[in-house]
Each structure stands twice: as C-alpha cells, then as structure tokens.
Amino acid sequence: MRCCSPPRPAWVPTCSSSTRSRRSTGPARAAGTGAWDWPPWRSRSRSRQRGSTIPAMLLPDAVCPHSTASPRLGPRAAGDEVHRRCCRGQPRELLPASCPGMAVPLGEPERGRAGRAGQGRTERGSAGQDGMVQGGAGPWDHRIIKVGKDPQGHRVQPAPTTTITPNPEQGAWLNNKGAWLSGNGRGLTEGGWLIGGGPTPRPRRVPLTSRAGNGGSGPRPLHGADRCGAQRGGACSALLCPRGWGGGGLATAPRGSPSPPPPARRGVPPPGPRVPRCPLHAPCPPVSPTSPVSPYPPYPRPPCPPISPHIPPPPQTPCPRGAAPPHLTPPPPPGVLPLSQAWGRAPRLPPSPLPAQRRAFSNNKILVELDESAGVATMKFKSPPVNSLSLDFLTEFCISLEKLENDRACRGVILTSAVPKIFSSGLDITEMCGKSTEHYAEFWRAVQEMWLRLYSSNMVTVAAVNGSSPAGGCLIALTCDYRIMAENPKFSIGLNEAQLGIVAPFWFKDTFVNVVGHRVAESSLQLGSLHPAPEAHRIGLVDELVPEEKLKDRATAVMQQWLALPGKGGTSWAVTECRNGDLTCVGGPGIEAGSCVSVGTGGVGGWEVGKLSKAVRAALGCEGCAWHTAGRSAGCAGRLPPAQLAVPALLSRAGGA
C-alpha cells in the first residue's frame, strides 16, 4: 500500500520510467536491502537540469519516514505525529488504513487540503512536470495523478485523484475541488497542465453543491478563514496554509482564461467577477499570530508584504504587468499562434515603466528584498549572533522562499548574510538537545523541508557566502546553483559534522559529492574539514572568490548571466517542430533556431531548454507535432491550443512518462 510522499514535494508518479534514469543518486532501494533512501529526491550534477527530475514515487507505508513502520524516525509517537501531518497532504485514497493521517474523518470536506492546491501553496516544482490523468470511463472522468504549474506560473498540486466533471452548460469542466478546468476533453487542462484520458478505476462524482474548496483556479478567495485547515481542526502548516503567506493573493482565473464563471455553492454567495491574479493587488490576508493545530510551534507569522504605493489598489484594475512587451514576444513560426495570443496571457512580465521597483519583506530572521525590475531577490539571514538554523529560522526561510517562488516577478534569489563574518553556523545545536522527541522530529523535518525547497527551486539560486559556513550553512550554499565566497581566508566552509562526533546525513553527503566530487567529499567528510575560502575554491566547493566588498555585485552579475539563459531562469519560449522525426527549435528569444530543445518526458510548459538527448528523441520519435517550451517568467503561460499539440502521442511514445 502506498502511503505518504515526502514532506514536500509529493507528486504522484505517472510512470516508473519517468526521470529516474536521469538522476545520479535519486531515490532508490539499496541493493539487496530493500531499504529506501530517504528523502526520495534527486541529486544533481553540477550541470544540473533543473526541473528535469522529479520524485518518482509515492512511498510505501513501510518506507515513509514518518510512519511507524519506518526505522528512520525513531520512536513511534514522533513518527505518528509527523506522519499524520505529512499525510495530511495526500489524497486519502492513497493512505493506508494504518496511516495516522486517516484519523481525519473521510467524510469531512477537504477544504484545507483543497486550499493547498494551487493557492499560494507551491510545490517544489520541477518545471517540467506534466499533468497526467488516469482513467476516464466517460470523456469527463479523469483522475489527475500529477500536475504542475498553473497558467500563471504558480505550481499547483491538486489532490492526485481529482475527478473531473463536465459542466456542459458552461462548456467547461469542474474538478472535485471546485476548480475550473478548461479544454475540450482531449486536452483538458488543470492549472495549466494538459491532462488526458483513459478508464477510471473508480470515478467519483462529486455533486456541485457539495464541493468544497478550490483547486487553485477557482474563484474563491484564498484567505478566507474556511480556507485554512487550521480552522477545521485539521493540521495547518504554516507553509501550506495560504494564510501563512501574505502575498498569495486571490486564486482566480488567469487573465484571458476560457473558464466560465463558477456556479454558486449552496449557502455561499456567488463570487464576484474573476480578476487577474496579481500579487500586488492581493488583499492582505488575515493573519493569525499562531495556529493551535499547526504542526509548527507557535511563532509570529510574517507580516503581509507591503503593497507598493504606486500600484493602484483595486483588484479589478488591469494588472500593470498584464501586457506583453512587444520586444519579448517573438514572431511565431507560420501556423503557430504566439503563446500569448493563443491563451490571452502575457508570456512574461513587461519591464516596468516606473523606476526600479523594489519590495522588501522581513520576518524575524530573514530580510528579503526583491528588485522587481531585475527579477532578483536577496534573502539576507539576520539571526545573530551566528545565523544558526533554528526551527524558527528554517520555517521562515521556507516561507520566504515560497513567497518568492509564488511571485512571478522573482526569478532568482541571492542568499547572503546580514551578520558580519558569518554566513550561517549551521543547524542550531540548541535545537538538538534537551527537547522532546516531537520537537526533534519537527526540527529535522524542517531541515529537510528547507533543503528540498531550495534544492528544487525553480528560481536561480546564488549563494553569496560572506562569512563562515559550517555544516548546515555549507549545505545551504551547496544547495544553490552557484556559490561565490568572500576571499577572506578566515572564512571557512565545509561539512564538519565529523568534528562534532556526528555523521552528515546522506543527503548532505550527496549534495556535497555532487559539487566537489567523490574523493574530495570522502576525505573532507571523514575529517570534518572546514576549508578556508581559498581552499574551498581550489577543491570546487565554491565556484569563485571575490573581495567581500564586491560580493554583492558579483552575485548580481552572475545572476544576470543565469537569468539571460533560456529555460529555468530565462525568459524565453521556443517552439519546436518535428521534422523528419527530429525536434528542431524554430527559434525564440535567446534560442538559436536549429538548437535542440529539451522536452523532458511529456507535458507542456516550463521545460528547460537544453540539449535533447538522442535517447529522448528516439523515445519520442515524434512526427508532425509541435512542441513548445516556456521559461519560468513566461509564467508557463505558453500553451498551444490542443489542436496544435500532440502531447498525448508524445507521452505514450515516451512510455507515459
């Protein structure tokens, strides 16, 4: 029986052959032992392909680290507790009866859960993941088992067993979370992801009037009290609860969405007209200082981000980012509509007509400054004396990252410290002794969460290491795309756990190995070495050294370099045509015509541009189909009309992956 997925992300696989083969050290059973690595996550090479790998499985109950059957998490009580919270995010159909998550009555409307899907809740999103559907006894019975991003570029994770019901009168589709889908049955989309058909094992029709929640594109506001799992007695995670993220805004239909207005729910006044989702227009949600049922210990929730005074307040006002900049909209190839025309959405944010817009938000331990014009945020750790990674820090880190992840204006993050001479001292040692088992479990979960979110961020991440960075601090730097360190030899970095008499977790190790190579990692880990900056550079632990006063500028320059690339951080889209069994890029900004375009293994939007391996091409063997890829800042808005896509064919040729 399958149980819960990792704490996050929790995509449900569509195919065992999905992308596992592309991982160097992804989740796998240890040979002969039957044991599973945990957390099931990819590692990456330095020439990583962001978004090209995904967690490829739900974990069986026995290997869920939070389940009582897991040998990894220790005492049963802690396992139960965390497992319950973890599994809260899973469709109940997939939970075993033994799962503590099943303690929540099945009959209860899943409002809090539904609210997770696409409402400010971001899933560690591999940009290249597609929605897949199992089933379909009729043309409208589909079980979405994996989804990706919504049309605005926000990742969504609807419950993996979404049932889609047609609403013929309005020519659209409604899933069992109340989210509107658009499409024609062959190319249904939810949250911007194409879904297909097939027989449904157990189609579940949900009467319109009993639907609760909103799968992400529905009209109901995010921040109502009934949106929060905490309000119904369910577990509410600060990271999951939309109210934990002040900038979530309204979960409304994308601009130009063909979705019809939603039906009124019984007892619920019909919602107002849909308005474009613009974080700057989002009303500040009510924020409760603490949540009694939060799996996190009470902590002051971050205040809502300030709304820039120059942004007109009414949400109905057309978003100033709405129009596509002409110079960024490349001419489409013959017969192919520009993505923005095809779907009525801007493929990316226009440059602001105003002077550089900067926004900042801050919580107790992290200061975030977002330069909207550059699309780059700086996260400054400000938790003196040493920026130790306490539970509070980790929680705020994840919230800040998620905020930025949800912000279309942000495409890259620079991590640095506001504390002189210290980047981060690593895990807060005081969190690791004299606390309850539950606290340990919670703390460790938060450590993993931080790593997972950062590692798999769709934003370009650059560590500007302006001080010492032992252990967990080093992990943060390792988890970024690029590391620049101040060239002060007094600053050191490394995984020094051995010196503390503890062993770096294997995923610390894997991340380290990916950066410095096996042998260097081996000896460094065994000795618990802290490498002075010059040595760290020599062994490849950091990518470059610069004088401390130039660190910021250099990080900014590197970021610009990364963001100029198409794909993950880039702003380009490209269209490919299949000619003679090959995929040929017909061009796009920053993409040379004739270059290969990575199509991953199915799906639309968000794919990175890069080399398309012969193997993938052979697997796809596409003929006469068109494909496109959209960069993140295009908000993954790029979708060709279904008629122009042959995605199902591609998917089937790719083995359903």
Ligand X SMILES: CCCCCCCC/C=C\C/C=C/C(=O)SCCNC(=O)CCNC(=O)[C@H](O)C(C)(C)COP(=O)(O)OP(=O)(O)OC[C@H]1O[C@@H](n2cnc3c(N)ncnc32)[C@H](O)[C@@H]1OP(=O)(O)O
Task: Cite the active site residues.
Answer: 427, 472, 496-497
The window from 93-101, 118-126, 200-208, 418-426 that contacts ligand X (CB under 6 A) reads 418-426
Name the residue nearer to ligand X (CB basis): 136 or 505.
505
443 binds ligand X (CB under 6 A): yes
511 phi/psi in degrees, rounded to 5 = -65, -40
Tokens of 357: 């817009």
428 binds ligand X (CB under 6 A): yes
Token match 């596992």: residue?
Answer: 20
471 binds ligand X (CB under 6 A): yes
Q: How far is the CB of 71 from ligand X (least distance, A)?
A: 15
Per CB under 6 A, the list member of 162, 237, 388, 448 interacting with ligand X is 388
- Say how far apart CA 86 and CA 73 lie, in whole Å: 13
Contact 77, 227 (CB under 8 A): no
Per CB under 6 A, the list member of 237, 425, 598, 644 interacting with ligand X is 425
The window from 347-355, 372-380, 470-478, 576-584 that contacts ligand X (CB under 6 A) reads 470-478
Which helix (DSSP H) or strand (DSSP E) does residue 416 occupy?
Answer: strand 412-417
65 by DSSP, 3-state: which?
A: coil
HEC assignment per residue over 1-32: CECCCCCCCCCCCCCCCCCHHHCCCCCCECCC
Q: How far is the CB of 424 from ligand X (least distance, A)?
A: 8
Residue of 198, 246, 204 lying closest to 222 (CA atoms): 246
Label residue 236 exposed, middle or buried (CB < 10 Å: 0-12, 13-18, 19+).
buried
436 binds ligand X (CB under 6 A): no
Name the residue nearer to ligand X (CB basis): 1 or 429.
429
Tokens of 435: 């606390």
Name the residue nearer to ligand X (CB basis): 85 or 113.
85
444 binds ligand X (CB under 6 A): yes
Q: How far is the CB of 628 from ligand X (least distance, A)?
A: 43
Per CB under 6 A, the list member of 430, 523, 613, 652 interacting with ligand X is 430
User: Kind of pairing, strands 162-167 and 172-175?
Assistant: antiparallel
Name the residue nearer to ligand X (CB basis): 77 or 429.
429
Per CB under 6 A, the list member of 1, 354, 502, 643 interacting with ligand X is 502
Per CB under 6 A, the list member of 504, 565, 604, 646 interacting with ligand X is 504
The window from 29-37, 94-102, 340-348, 494-502 that contacts ligand X (CB under 6 A) reads 494-502
- Say how far apart CA 165 and CA 183 lie, in whole Å: 12
Interior CA angle at 88 toward 83 and 90, to 5°? 105
Name the residue nearer to ligand X (CB basis): 382 or 617.
382
432 binds ligand X (CB under 6 A): yes
The window from 180-188, 273-281, 312-320, 466-474 that contacts ligand X (CB under 6 A) reads 466-474
Query: Under rule CB under 6 A, how many of the chain's residues touch ligand X?
Result: 25
Name the residue nearer to ligand X (CB basis): 391 or 413.
391
470 binds ligand X (CB under 6 A): yes
Residue type, 73: L
Contact 389, 430 (CB under 8 A): no
- Say how far apart CA 213 and CA 221 lie, in whole Å: 10
524 binds ligand X (CB under 6 A): no
449 binds ligand X (CB under 6 A): no
- Contacts of residue 356, defined as CB under 8 A and 6 or more positions apart, other chains included, come to 371, 372, 373, 374
User: Kind of pairing, strands 582-585 and 573-579?
Assistant: antiparallel
Token match 């650059």: residue?
Answer: 462
Q: How far is the CB of 391 from ligand X (least distance, A)?
A: 10
The window from 10-18, 83-91, 211-219, 467-475 that contacts ligand X (CB under 6 A) reads 467-475
Question: Nearest residue to ligand X, using CB?
Answer: 426
The binding track of 101-120 with respect to ligand X, each residue x by CB under 6 A or -, is: --------------------
Contact 579, 621 (CB under 8 A): no
- Say how far apart CA 628 and CA 303 lie, in whole Å: 39
Instruction: Give the number of C-alpha atoms closer than 13 A to the C-alpha of residue 239, restricted to the C-beta side.
Output: 30
Contact 153, 636 (CB under 8 A): yes
440 binds ligand X (CB under 6 A): yes
Name the residue nearer to ligand X (CB basis): 443 or 607.
443
Q: Please provide the DSSP assignment of 461-474 as one string.
A: EEEEE-EEEETHHH
Per CB under 6 A, the list member of 422, 515, 521, 625 interacting with ligand X is 422
426 binds ligand X (CB under 6 A): yes
Q: How far is the CB of 501 from ligand X (least distance, A)?
A: 10
Tokens of 152: 């605005």
| Radius of gyration, alpha carbons of the chain | 23
The window from 126-134, 320-328, 498-506, 619-627 that contacts ligand X (CB under 6 A) reads 498-506
Cα 456 off chain centre by: 7
Q: How far is the CB of 294 from ligand X (least distance, A)?
A: 19
Per CB under 6 A, the list member of 496, 598, 633, 644 interacting with ligand X is 496
Q: How far is the CB of 192 from ligand X (least distance, A)?
A: 38
Tokens of 470: 């032992």
Residues 532-561 that bind ligand X (CB under 6 A): none
Alpha carbon of 127 to those of 44, 156, 180, 574, 606: distances in Å?
Answer: 15, 11, 22, 15, 5
Q: How far is the CB of 290 from ligand X (least distance, A)?
A: 22
194 phi/psi in degrees, rounded to 5 = -75, 140
293 by DSSP, 3-state: which?
A: coil
631 phi/psi in degrees, rounded to 5 = -75, 165
- Say how far apart CA 201 and CA 220 lie, in whole Å: 30
Name the residue nearer to ligand X (CB basis): 246 or 505.
505
Q: How far is the CB of 87 from ligand X (least distance, A)?
A: 21
Residues forming beta bridges with residue 585, ordered by sequence position: 576
Name the residue nearer to ligand X (CB basis): 352 or 440.
440
Name the residue nearer to ligand X (CB basis): 532 or 603.
532
468 binds ligand X (CB under 6 A): yes
Per CB under 6 A, the list member of 374, 376, 386, 398 interacting with ligand X is 386
472 binds ligand X (CB under 6 A): yes
Residues that bind ligand X (CB under 6 A): 385-386, 388, 422, 425-432, 440, 443-444, 468, 470-472, 496-497, 500, 502, 504-505
